[in-house]
Chains A and B, each alone.
Chain A
Amino acid sequence: MTLEAYADTIVPGEKRSADDRAIAGVSTGGGAVQAGALELLQWDATGIHDGLDDLVRLVNEHAQAYAAERGLALDPAVPPFVALEYPDRAALIQLLTKPGHPEKEFWVLLSLFCNMAFDSAAHLNTAQAMADGHPGLKAMGLTQPDADGLWRFEDYSYGREFARLHPDTTSTGSPA
């Protein structure tokens, strides 16, 4: 649940049900969670799969401290990070990923993979993910590949001369 809340802070999505606590619900359409962030994070290919329990524990400790400093009351029914409102989740991740924070590298890495679940579906075959309507690739407007799973674009150029060449250009197209 904590990892879902973290991933949802990086690329937020829509609540899966009215009582969804992990997803803050500040955005429409799928976010990192719907895009499969948990699947990607738990895959051993990432190299962070082993440390996820520690990251969950740590981010909840940070959330507790963050809340205490600001006098926020946290709902004990859910993990502390999940209990934070979206702006506080985001503010905490900003603190943890700031240059100079001793744990910065872990949080950057975690954020990177959460983002990759959405923007490149790095746990899925891309053509298949496109065919299945992966929420991230779809939201970003990636186009469908050809039947053989490869992309080709017949139209690719305006075919117009748009500017003067730099006067010091060699005949082979280099700076003189």
Chain B
Amino acid sequence: MSTTAERTDVLVIGSGFGGAIAAYHLAAGGADVTVLERGPWLESKEFEHDYKLGSSYTRVFDFTVGDGMSILGGNCVGGGSVVYFAAMPRAPRFVFDRQGSIGRRMWPGAVSRDTLDPWYDRVEESLSITKQNWNDVSYAGGLWAAACNHSGRTANPLAVAIDNTKCVNCNWMMAGCRFEAKQSLLVNYLPAAIAHGARIRPLHEVQHLSRTPDGSYRVHYNVVHDDDYRLQAGSGVIEAKIVVMAAGAGATPVILQRSEAHLGTMPRAVGRYFSGNGERLNTAVIDEAKAAELFGLERGDGLAYAANHIGKGPTVASWDKLDGSLPEYSRYSLEQLYFPPGLGTILAQVPGATGPSWFGKEKKEILKQWASWLTIFTMIEDDNEGVFGPPPATGNSHRISQQMLGRGNLRYEPTKNTLGAWAASDAEVKEILEKDGLAKVMPWTNDLVGAYTVHPLSSCRMGDDPHTSALDDRNELRDHPGIFVTDGSAVPGALTVNPAMTIAALAERAVPGIVQAAQRRGISVTYGAPAPDGSASGRKNVLPLLPSARG
């Protein structure tokens, strides 16, 4: 075994929510932290408004087609936070009591909404999460709220990590925010981690871990070509006393599976119980005249709506079914969403098609009405039915296109519970939006790339039962001390709302335990750094004064 390997105290794999939060606190506490990130490191001015392959739009995200489930995620420094829509609600209370497919509470006894709330508070401060008001809500969100109200339902402007004073409503959030309005990790935890000495290495894709004789870990990586991710530009090894895995729920279990030959048997739950957060999309084609007539909508110029492309991601959700007294699998939220052309458009189906529904003559006709589309995103309670097959040669997929597109080994066969919940939510979306002829609605087809998720969860989940959870309630991998998992794969199940807030809160919650484990391994590190932007409110008040102070 070579003795020339590089060393670091803590090696973090992935720089999304789980990775960035751990990296910041450990670096701020004095540990030597290195972050390996598979994707490129882009600055705001590199976030282009361009659908061309090779622009930031394809460089920063990753689409992995599986068998029955495809995952869309971030692929860059900042991970999913760079491509996400920044909707940041907390998970409702009942979620933590869910039983899912195992017939008993699947969250660890130590985690509930009450115990997580202080950690949610911290994330809220760090990412400047604010509750939007009706003036912030996009035309699409307004239309959705009006439709909900018209059919006797409530509707909520969402809490978001967006600085609305900087937002230009361009709707290019998925290509990275050019205007630094989106509070991605690139503007808080990551710069704070770097300020405390953390090193981030982009285009480093971790392949597997092995162990050193003294119980540290060796992390084996390939360097990825900066334009064509199918190509490799070298490889290397770093040794670390603590490894924090945060490659996302579609990649963390794959790295662990590939490591099994070196580290020994993995807990049974590694690569099982995957959840797509119960996601599903419906596309409504709005009848403009009806929108004007029913709700008195008008944008000037005689337009009532026709504003699919204006605004931001989700701005309004309906939470009427988030009622803890309802039985499991019947609770879900319905959220308005923007989805750009490209991958998504092909999955939209023609309402009432007589021929093929996702392509062809009739599909072209609804494409011509694209500006009048309203997309509704459902998050139901699924059954954690995803299982990862044997890992591909490298990374978590066999890469097909130069960027973005790959074939992975996830298998997902929805159970009756999941199918039933999807059907019930589809029916409700139809009921709300087809009332009085407002729209025609169809769900996205699952026939092409399976179900589709931007919220992968639970593939390496935490819990109290070693049989059904890969991590203990402090996020440490069972039987492999010193390896922690802090990303979406640790979340035990679907949340019925957007997950980044909960992933981030759980990562914050995991840090004190990681610090203790690091101390036990001789790393000089303490816990207690403030939220990276703890001074945010103070600075916001002071900065505008500076020019005059200088004058």
Residues of A at the B interface (CB closer than 8 Å) are 9-12, 26-27, 31, 43-48, 86-87, 90, 93-94, 97-99, 105, 108-109, 111-112, 115-116, 118-127, 136, 139-143, 145, 149-153, 155-176
User: Within the complex, which residue of B134, B370, B400 is in contact with A159, where a contact is CB–CB below 8 Å?
Assistant: B134
Judge whether B142 and A45 touch: CB under 8 Å: no
A-B pairs, 7 with minimum CB distance: A173-B131, A173-B159, A162-B145, A163-B149, A163-B155, A174-B90, A120-B51
B345 at the A/B interface (Cβ < 8 Å)?
Answer: yes
A111–B346 Cα gap in the complex (Å)? 9
Q: Which residues of A contact B355 (CB under 8 A)?
A: 87, 90
Chain A residues whose CB sits within 8 angstroms of the CB of B497 once the complex forms: 175
Contact B170 A151 (CB under 8 A): yes
- Min CB distance, A102 to chain B, in Å? 13
> In chain A, what residue has the closest Cβ to B145?
A162
Q: A27-B364, A99-B447, A112-B346 are in contact. Are A156 and B52 (CB under 8 A)?
A: no
CB closest chain-A residue, reference B146: A162
Contact A31 B134 (CB under 8 A): no
CB proximity to A under 8 Å, residues B358-409: 359-361, 363-364, 367-368, 370-371, 399-403, 405, 407
B186 within 8 A of A: no
Q: Is the CB of A126 within 8 A of B53?
A: no
- A150 in contact with B149 (CB, 8 Å): no
B50 and A115: CB pair below 8 A? no
Q: Are A150 and B448 in contact (CB under 8 A)?
A: no
B370 touching A174, Cβ below 8 Å: no
CA distance A160 to B142 in the complex (A): 8
Given that A9-B360, A140-B368, A173-B131 are contacting pairs, would A121 and B346 also be in contact in the complex, using a CB cutoff of 8 Å? no
Q: Are A98 and B340 within 8 A (Cβ)?
A: no
- Which of B53, B92, B120, B341 is close to A45, meaning CB atoms less than 8 Å apart? B53
Q: Are A141 and B370 within 8 A (Cβ)? A: yes
**Is the CB of B49 closer than 8 A to any CB of chain A?**
yes
> Is there contact, CB below 8 Å, between A43 and B405?
no
- CB distance B346 to A109 under 8 Å? no
Interchain nearest-CB distance for A174 vs B (Å): 4
CB pair A47–B402 under 8 Å, yes or no, is yes
> Residue-by-residue, is B14-43 near A (CB-CB < 8 Å gives 1, otherwise 0)?
000000000000000000000000000000
11 further interface pairs, Cβ-Cβ under 8 Å (given A105-B65, A111-B359): A10-B359, A46-B53, A93-B359, A94-B356, A119-B367, A122-B58, A149-B50, A150-B178, A156-B310, A174-B159, A176-B92
Q: Which residues of A contact B300 (CB under 8 A)?
A: 155
Q: Is the CB of A122 within 8 A of B51?
A: yes
Chain A residue nearest in CB terms to B355:
A90
Closest chain B residue to A165 by CB distance? Answer: B156
0 or 1 for each of B342-358: is its CB under 8 Å from A? (1 = yes):
11011000000001100
Chain B residue numbers with a CB within 8 Å of A169 are 156, 319
Cβ of B170 and Cβ of A108 under 8 Å apart? Answer: no
Chain B residues bordering chain A, tally (CB within 8 A):
89
**A123, B368: Cα distance in complex, Å:** 20
- CB nearest neighbor in A for B297: A158
Establish whether residues B346 and A173, one from each chain, have CB atoms under 8 Å apart when the complex forms: no
The distance from the CB of B92 to the nearest CB of chain A, in whole angstroms, is: 4
Indicate if the CB atoms of B309 and A152 lie closer than 8 Å.
no
> Cβ of B129: which chain A residues have Cβ within 8 Å of it?
172
Total contacts A-B at CB 8 Å = 223
Is B320 part of the binding interface, using a Cβ–Cβ cutoff of 8 Å? yes
**Contact: A125 with B407, CB < 8 Å?**
no
Inter-subunit contact A143/B309 (CB<8 Å):
yes
**Candidate in A9, A122, A123 with the most chain B CB atoms within 10 angstroms:** A122
Shortest beta-carbon distance from B181 to chain A in Å: 11
Min distance, Cβ A152 to any Cβ of chain B, angstroms? 4
In contact, B92 and A127 (Cβ under 8 angstroms): no
- Please pick, from B172, B230, B299, the residue contacting A155 in the complex, using a CB distance under 8 A: B299
CB distance from A40 to the nearest CB of B (A): 8
Residues of A within 8 A of B447 (CB): 97-99
Provided the pairs A155-B300, A156-B310, A158-B139 are in contact, do residues A124 and B178 lie with their beta carbons within 8 angstroms?
A: no
Q: A139 → chain B, closest Cβ, in Å?
A: 5
Question: Given that A105-B407, A109-B400 are contacting pairs, would A116 and B364 also be in contact in the complex, using a CB cutoff of 8 Å?
Answer: no
Q: Give chain B interface residues in 107-148, CB to chain A under 8 Å.
A: 120, 124, 129-132, 134-139, 142, 145-146, 148
11 contacts between A and B (CB under 8 A): A90-B361, A112-B346, A115-B345, A118-B367, A140-B371, A142-B309, A151-B171, A156-B307, A163-B145, A167-B154, A173-B131
Min CB gap B139→A, angstroms = 6
Binary contact track B263-299/A, C-beta < 8 Å → 1, others 0: 0000000000000000000000000000000010101
| B49:A150 contact, CB within 8 angstroms | yes
Residues A163 and B138 in contact in the complex (CB < 8 Å), given A97-B448, A153-B311 = no
Are A140 and B360 in contact, with the CB atoms below 8 A? no
- The smallest C-beta distance from A87 to any residue of chain B, in angstroms, reads 7
Among A105, A118, A157: residue with most chain B CB under 10 A: A157
B206 within 8 A of A: no
Which of B49, B65, B91, B153 contacts A151, CB < 8 Å? B49
Q: Given the complex of chains A and B, what is the CA–CA distance between A97 and B299 in angstroms?
A: 41
Could you tell me if B92 and A12 are in contact, using CB atoms closer than 8 angstroms?
Answer: no
The verdict on B168 contacting chain A, using a C-beta distance below 8 Å, is yes
Q: How far is the CA of A163 from the CA of B137 in the complex (A)?
A: 12
Which A residues touch B228, using CB under 8 A? 45
Q: Nearest A residue to B227 by beta-carbon distance? A: A45
A115-B346, A172-B131 known; A156 vs B400 contact (CB < 8 Å): no
Asked if B401 contacts A173 (CB within 8 A), the reply is: no
Q: Give the chain B neighbours of A140 by CB distance below 8 A.
A: 341, 367-368, 370-371
Residues on A with C-beta less than 8 A from B65 are 105
Least distance between A94 CB and chain B CB atoms (Å): 5
Q: In the bound complex, what is the Cα–Cα distance between A5 and B310 (angstroms)? A: 34
- The answer to whether the Cβ of B169 comes within 8 Å of any Cβ in the partner chain is yes
B364 touches A11 (CB 8 A): yes
Complex CA–CA separation, A156 to B89 (angstroms): 22
B83 part of interface (Cβ distance < 8 Å) = no
Interface set, chain B 158-175, CB cutoff 8 A to A: 158-159, 168-172
Is the pair A139, B368 in contact by a Cβ cutoff of 8 Å? Answer: yes
Complex Cα–Cα for A48 and B405 (A): 11
Among B65, B322, B399, B401, max chain A CB count under 10 A is at B401
With A11-B363, A153-B168, A157-B138 in contact, do A166 and B320 touch (Cβ < 8 Å)? yes
Cα A109 to Cα B342 with chains together (Å): 12
Q: How far does the alpha carbon of A124 sit from the alpha carbon of B333 in the complex, in Å?
A: 37
